[in-house]
Amino acid sequence: MAKLFIPQADIDRWMSSGLCELRADLMVLREGGVELRLRPAARFVRVAGDGIDRRALVGKVKDEDALAELGAEAYMTSVLFDDTAYDVEAGFVATLVRDTRETRQKALSSIRAFSN
């Protein structure tokens, strides 16, 4: 499990259900105590309006550093890149603090359980 995109809505739901807690940039899954480092990111959903995806970003995830490197401007559920506006899903790229086979299995198991 190198990186995983987690939508903001999922994290909100998990927190309100007591399945995880946030500590600064860490999300701790209560079941198993797995710690995930979170970086703000956006998943590109579609080009807004009748635009063309010249940069082939639809379907990709970019964290805030990658967006800054591209020169893109993000606001809420939109990203403007060059003259193209994209609808995006806000969330986070998560990476395991301790990336071992055991923590990967625990994290994936917990996240699958949360999603059901």
Q: Is 59 helix (H, G, I), strand (E, B) or coil?
A: coil
Cα 81 from Cα 1, distance rounded (Å):
29
For residue range 64-99, list pLDDT tens digits in order. 999 999 899 888 899 998 889 999 999 999 999 998
The predicted model scores a pTM of 0.87
For residue range 45-66, list pLDDT tens digits in order. 999 988 899 889 999 999 999 9
Cα 7 from Cα 52, distance rounded (Å):
25
Cα 111 from Cα 116, distance rounded (Å):
9
